[in-house]
Chains A and B, each alone.
Chain A
Amino acid sequence: MNDPTRPSATQGRTDIRVHEADFDVGHEIAQLRAGNAAIGAVATFIGVCRDINDGDHVAELVLEHYPGMTEKALGAIADEARGRWDVIDILIIHRVGRMLPTDQIVFVAVTSAHRGEAFAACEFLMDFLKTRAPFWKKEQTPAGSRWVDAREADDAAAGRWG
């Protein structure tokens, strides 16, 4: 229910950040929740750099992006999520540049009154981020560096939202 004395509490905000620096998940969640008693659920996703891909050892990952379009595309994806679910806050942090195995790559957090909206919106945001936001991964393997190919499974994951 909307609390008429705090109309902004249920509206929340969309926050999109693309940068090289690492992020502190605990800090980000605390900032999102701070003082907002309208939030009943926080769903989060953290994407992490693995040390293996397609059977090969990966020593490091370099993430390239299209500055400007990246933020625009993520903003459009967040708007679409807001149109589908009654969420309060959307936070998307995506790192670019050089990353090592175990490093955090991406963080998506969604707050809402109830868990169903937050879970669904968080998964939707990741599925669409992976197929629509202009990021490209290049990985360093023992055989040299190679661009990561897009996966059909990612298109299928985005497609199921209709």
Chain B
Amino acid sequence: MLNILYFARLKETLGRDTERIELPAGVADVAALTDWLRARGGVWSEELAASRPVRVAVNQDMARHDTPIRDGDEIAYFPPVTGG
């Protein structure tokens, strides 16, 4: 299973703050998972489009497109941070 979290604007536009999914076949890194989510179409393809400034964390560390994903990981999608 993967635990996927969404924050801030993404949480609102995607209509959920968390979901648990089976690790999709063939998904081994962040880029592949993002492609898989984008394939849901609609707001998913819009919000997660490559042109959008989306950040990803794997197990609470900032990740890159080639960061590996394994069963049991916690993945988070969010916009660039604006604290402070």
Partner among B5, B7, B62, B79 whose Cβ is within 8 Å of the Cβ of A132 = B62
Distance A68 CA – B45 CA, assembled complex (angstroms) = 28
Q: In this assembly, does A64 line the interface, its C-beta being within 8 Å of a C-beta of chain B? A: yes
Distance A136 CA – B79 CA, assembled complex (angstroms) = 8
List CB contacts (< 8 Å) of B57-84 with chain A. 57, 60-62, 76, 78-84
Partner among A65, A72, A94, A150 whose Cβ is within 8 Å of the Cβ of B53 = A150
Known: A129-B83, A130-B81. A138 touches B8 (CB 8 A): yes
Q: Taking the nearest CB of chain A, how far is it from the CB of B37, in angstroms?
A: 18
Q: Is A131 touching B8 in the complex (CB atoms < 8 A)?
A: no
Q: Taking the nearest CB of chain A, how far is it from the CB of B17, in angstroms?
A: 10
Q: Is B57 touching A66 in the complex (CB atoms < 8 A)?
A: yes
Listed from nearest, the 10 A-B pairs whose CB atoms lie closest are: A135-B83, A150-B80, A136-B8, A69-B60, A130-B84, A148-B82, A147-B9, A137-B82, A72-B60, A129-B84
Knowing that A69-B76, A147-B82 touch, tell me 16 more A-B residue pairs with CB under 8 angstroms: A47-B84, A64-B7, A66-B57, A72-B61, A94-B84, A105-B84, A129-B83, A132-B62, A132-B81, A134-B7, A134-B78, A136-B79, A136-B82, A136-B83, A147-B8, A151-B82
